[in-house]
Structure 1
């Protein structure tokens, strides 16, 4: 079933998260980060950070912390069994640190298909700010939906 392009422009409910130092350490270890500024508060302070800095790709995980991290995909009528992660991109404006409360606000910015509808693409743009509104980063996520009923 094709994804309705009328969803383009839909803004999703914002997600708020206070960044926890233990979660940052866990994330850094999980991705194989060895730079001590991401693991040790003393090293972070020596490098001029007020607390552990957020590793670059951590911001992608803000929206994944809830009990159902993908309601927006289900709301589009997409079966998660056919979803692939297509792309992610980041534009950074400032460094976030442990203790910052961040707000992620996402908008579905494009929906298109390729291969005669066998593959559909949903583009979601997310602005990450601190609660005071100062910009941290802009994220772009592209998911690919495989439509097994469409033959090419």
Structure 2
């Protein structure tokens, strides 16, 4: 099964708007082992010059999981989840985000390519994260799809 690259790049994703919650930021920070009180305590954050708890690096990925069907695009492309691996994740930050911010995530497929004669297919998804119209971050994720029907 080969992914139709043209069709993949034409997929339209509905934007997702979410509010960043303090409790979730604290939980995420504690989970990743963050000990800087700026990420855990509002008073410490304000004393450091922030208006609220700042969003720690990589948190944006978890916001995308709040979509009603965060991996639904894989179904649309006919990709069997049992053949999927997480290949890569990267972030480009433009501005800080904080607890209580309303952020909008806009996903789009920017590339589909193959290696090993089609045995491995790669789907590259770009997510623009904004607050109102202000760019906050760009997130790029790559999934690897194993195609057992292709000759390696």
The answer for unaligned runs of 5 or more in structure 2 is none
Distance 1:51 1:96 in 2: 9
Distance 1:121 1:151 in 2: 16
Is 2:22 the partner of 1:21? yes
Is 2:50 the partner of 1:43? no
Give yes or no for contact 1:110–1:122 (8 Å, CA) kept in 2: yes
2:134 paired residue number: 134
111-120 vs 28-37, which deviates more? 28-37
What TM-score, normalized to structure 1?
0.95
Question: Which portions of structure 1, spanning 4 or more consecutive aligned residues, are displaced by more than 3 angstroms?
Answer: none
2:119 paired residue number: 118
Distance 1:135 1:67 in 2: 23
The answer for unaligned runs of 5 or more in structure 1 is none
Distance 2:142 2:98 in 1: 26
2:147 paired residue number: 147
Quote the offset at 1:125 in angstroms: 0.8
Give yes or no for contact 1:11–1:105 (8 Å, CA) kept in 2: no
Report how many residues are paired: 151
What TM-score, normalized to structure 2?
0.95
Q: What does residue range 55-70 of structure 1 map to in structure 2 within 5 Å?
A: 55-70=56-71
SS in 2 for 1:49: coil
Quote the offset at 1:9 in angstroms: 4.1
Task: Report the RMSD for the aligned CA atoms in angstroms.
Answer: 1.1
Quote the offset at 1:121 in angstroms: 0.2
